[in-house]
Amino acid sequence: MDVIFAALGLLWDPTVIGIMLACAVYGLAVGSIPGLSASMAVALLVPMTFFIDAVPALAGIVTLAAMAIFAGDLPGAFLRIPGTPASAAYADEAYKMSLQGKGERALGIGLVCSAIGGVFGALVLLFAAPSLAKIALKFSTFEYFWLACMGLSAAVVVSHGNMAKGMLSLFLGLFIAMIGIDPMSGQIRYTFGNSALIGGLGFIPVLIGFFALSEVMRFAALRVRPTHSASTVGNVFSGLGQDVIRLRYGILRGCGLGTIIGAIPGAGADIASYISYAAQKKLSKNPEKFGTGIVDGIGPASAANNSAVGGAFVPATVFGIPGDSLSAIIIGVLYMKGLNPGPTVFLRQPELITAVFLAFLIANIMLVPFGFAAIKMFKQVLRVPRTLLMPSILAFCIVGAFAVENAVFAVTTMLIVGVLGYLMEENGYPIAPAILGLVLGPMLEENFLSSMMKAHGDFAAFFERPLAAGIAAVTIILWLYPVLSWGFANLKAHRNKALS
């Protein structure tokens, strides 16, 4: 407890508080801009940390990260443009709620669950970081392969309606992820002689194209166009208590999944949110309502988002191994400030690293009032006539795609994928599985090839390690569950028919 009180003393400083407040505003602003991620926002802030001390610098960065992850929900709910990749899992759900005039419920549940998930992740950081890091370090390429397979299984769940079309969409995403250079052999593939494709297709331009540009095209194709947005924002916290109580187990599950997946190096908030969304739908009493606009699909996934950030800090601080791109940048700042990540940092400078963890906890508590203010300000977008708003969104799409890669080809990619996304949705093919395939494709391929090289081509090695066998068993059960359910349903129907 002495260490915690000493850490609080370091944070109770006007400079630290001022920097945290400024970074909160900056994180909300950057996170709400489509195409800009929390990692990008942190990277842009790193040069400023040269001129300030360790505690205010790191407190500002973790505050920025917490705010930016939530801020991605704002354009997702209002405009169907995920501000950050982590918001893509439930952007469609939130947008459909906004179109029904329930935007306040979508944003309210997202805000509070993001704060709950962040607080959960911060508490895990404070009290269980070393233990959780030891589990995460036991993951080899075999475990990563099965984890990716488990994530891809979510594609079937997030496919609203036709499972076959969902699988085709998933395979499309996997194909897009394979464009470029083979991760093991270095062989160039699927470039069709175009040198611009050697580096693959950028994730952000593809994401913007699938979600944002396809929505602009859908509006342009309407024969009768609404002059103003159909979505409205009222009392953000209306009925929120009932929703949180009803979804309490799903939110806790999302917190746990987010923390565990975030602690696994190479995973991240986007994978955690997809798996949490899929788990909630699988266990729901009304899975058919998912994708039509309900809070059940938003709360647990939002909780997984912010808890994954705390989970990623676990291996970063305990062993110096980044859990994702965001924690990789933070490791660099830790080294720059003389806080060398590793077990010794808890022995030599416990009050400093504890102050960083407490700053993350405070930042997630700050998220509720700051997020509420951001929602109220961002809703002014709804006052703009959609005939003016849609061309502005198109301009944002072009600027966002170009800014990420600084190449015109990224804009071309965004435009082509946008047309593809529009055609897919018009013909009943869901977008979410394609995004999931794009996210998990590289992880699946690289770990499969590495594992096969280690095992000298013996596939039985994928089941030899106890942890890998456990994840494999869960994954295979998920694969067989739809088939077994269908078989048992048919068997029961035949038996009832025979008895009648």
pTM: 0.71
Do residues 108 and 241 make contact, with C-beta atoms less than 8 angstroms apart?
no
Tell me the C-alpha distance between 320 and 332, whole Å: 10
Do residues 38 and 65 make contact, with C-beta atoms less than 8 angstroms apart?
yes
CA-closest candidate to residue 84, choices 231, 203, 169, 178: 203
Tell me the C-alpha distance between 246 and 235, whole Å: 19
Query: Would the pLDDT of 227 be above 50?
Result: no
What pLDDT was estimated at residue 235?
65
Give the three-state DSSP class for 220: helix
Q: What number is the average pLDDT over the span 71-91?
A: 78
Query: Would the pLDDT of 234 be above 60?
Result: no
CA-closest candidate to residue 96, choices 302, 379, 291: 291
Do residues 317 and 345 make contact, with C-beta atoms less than 8 angstroms apart?
yes
Which pLDDT band holds residue 190 (cuts at 50, 70, 90)?
confident
Which pLDDT band holds residue 230 (cuts at 50, 70, 90)?
very low
Mean pLDDT for all residues in the chain: 80
Max CA separation in the chain (angstroms): 81
What pLDDT was estimated at residue 116?
92
What pLDDT was estimated at residue 228?
42
Tell me the C-alpha distance between 260 and 253, whole Å: 11
Give the chain's radius of gyration (CA, Å): 23
CA 415 to chain centre: 23
> What b/e string do you get for 169-206 counting C-beta neighbours within 10 Å, with b at 16 or more?
bbebbbebbbbbbeeeeeeeeeeeeeeebeebbbbbbb
What pLDDT was estimated at residue 157?
58
Give tens-digit pLDDT for 242-296.
888 888 898 999 998 888 888 776 566 777 888 888 888 878 887 778 878 888 8
Query: Would the pLDDT of 336 be above 50?
Result: yes
Query: Would the pLDDT of 225 be above 70?
Result: no
CA-closest candidate to residue 82, choices 463, 415, 397: 397
Tell me the C-alpha distance between 137 and 204, whole Å: 29
**Rounded to 5 degrees, what angle do the CA atoms 77, 203, 407 make?**
110
3-state secondary structure 62-75: HHHHHHHHHHCHHH
Give tens-digit pLDDT for 409-421.
888 998 999 899 8
Domain ranges of the chain: 2-464, 465-500
Specify the length of the chain in residues: 500
Give tens-digit pLDDT for 424-442.
888 888 777 887 788 778 8
Residue type, 226: P
Q: What are the residue ranges of helices labelled H in 80-199?
A: 91-99, 103-136, 141-158, 163-178
Q: What are the residue ranges of helices labelled H in 199-247?
A: 203-208, 214-221, 240-246
End-to-end CA distance of the chain: 70
User: What backbone phi and psi angles, to 5 degrees, belong to 131?
Assistant: -65, -45
Give tens-digit pLDDT for 438-471.
877 888 888 898 899 888 888 888 898 888 898 8
